[in-house]
A and B are shown apart, each in its own frame.
Chain A
């Protein structure tokens, strides 16, 4: 497209924003057209048209689904609550643990054989065990926990190891005791790395929540909804579930990306 005819100015923030927005809109329109055509060509009930999906979505948000009687709002809120619980749990365990393992080589050497065995296991592989042992409320939460735990732990350990030794020396010569060096230097210095772990963990965690809910036979949640609707063959509803999973995923990772950038900028670290 000849942008100069539209008086496009590369150095103008608003112009850049409008350009980006326009491209995104075109991209989405193309996507919907492809979806629509595919659905018509395939003529398969498992691939509903965008229109059918839209109607299903409106119905589900207003009235709820026929199996559980819950609206999509409650399914979303259940999934989000589990996601946040798993996230907080991972934060509460991975950050202190990462600080300790980054600080003490002995502890790191002690725990790394176990951690290296557990790390490559896909979090969702734990779902059947967790759901059986702690039930459908805590099961998905624990799967999310496992998913977020490892990136967060690795990043926190890395962050502690990257702390400038001079910062600790400076704190010591200013009279800080061991505890103050920990709380006033190590903890804040590792924040950008913890945030980076959080950012990566958010993406993994969101996949975990949906996947583990697919296993769960009751209790609500977007993943559960998709699984039940697929069994019943209500395909437009399944599509609604998938779209909401995508939107919630984008929102959560977008939020953590934003927070990460803010913090890194504030601390002047690239």
Chain B
């Protein structure tokens, strides 16, 4: 199956007793196989909702997500997910965490051990196979999260602010690592982030969203090669442009400024 994703007219409305809240309105996007697309937008605009709907964890109110031309129903190992708070299983060792997807798919023990070890090595955690989750630093935990998502060879990985809980330095290292790891595969990456800097550094394309109800404000292609220089004039210019867009989105209709997280 190929890893292109076509999202058509995706909408999400949350209903409570008092009111209906439209979280996402008519989101349509086509993503090529192997592309790295980030979604940025004002806080609380529903970026995570989009990702969860692609992952099949949240049911859309209307619209469809198709992977390789096939419409997705519910979650599945073809769409791996990496979470902001890592969501590792603390009762399992690093190896057992990475093996999880293979285990539930019924892969024989020897093979799943061998495959897990390969991926643990590729995220740079060789020697930590038997460590427990609480013994690892934040950056190492997310490396496990990435290895766990990749080991089942998904066509797409969905990353929900994966480096949001890490300190600035670890974050930069992890961005470079992510590019190194995904470069070798044709895995499509959809990446949600708060950080414009991060988006400009890693993306092939950036989708900028409007505030609630979220819709696409602009899609920006970044054809620059890697590694990118964060201090180059074109990098900072693009960063400033996107920040301006987000800022204008955060101004509320009554003239008050919205929260900038």
Contacts and interface: CB of A to CB of B under 8 A. Distances in A.
Interface of A: 164, 166-167, 169-177, 180, 184-185, 188-189, 191, 266-269
3 smallest beta-carbon distances between A and B, as pairs = A268-B134, A175-B77, A174-B101
Interface in B126-143: 132-135
A175 B152 contact: yes
A173 B91 contact: no
Q: Is the interface of A mostly helix, strand, loop or mixed?
A: helix
Interface of B: 55-57, 74-77, 79-81, 83, 85, 87-92, 100-101, 103-105, 132-135, 148-149, 152, 158
Contact of B85 (A166, A173, A188): A166
Nearest to B52: A169
- Centre residue among A164, A169, A189 by max chain B CB count within 10 A: A169
Q: Which of A172, A173, A191 is most buried by chain B, counting CB atoms within 10 A of its CB?
A: A173
Contacts of A268: 90, 132-135
Contacts of B90: 267-269
A38 B91 CA distance: 52
Given A166-B83, A268-B132, A268-B134, A173 B77 contact: yes
Contacts of A180: 104
16 contacts: A164-B85, A166-B85, A169-B55, A169-B81, A170-B148, A171-B104, A172-B57, A173-B79, A173-B149, A174-B77, A174-B80, A175-B75, A184-B103, A184-B104, A268-B132, A268-B133
A164 B87 CA distance: 8
A245 B180 CA distance: 65
B104 A174 contact: yes
Nearest to B57: A169
A185 B87 contact: no
Contact of A266 (B56, B57, B100, B132): B132
Given A191-B91, A268-B134, A175 B101 contact: yes
Given A172-B57, A188-B89, 9 more contacts: A169-B57, A169-B81, A173-B75, A174-B148, A175-B76, A188-B92, A267-B134, A268-B90, A269-B90
Given A166-B85, A167-B87, A167-B89, A174 B132 contact: no
Given A166-B85, A169-B81, A191-B91, A174 B133 contact: no
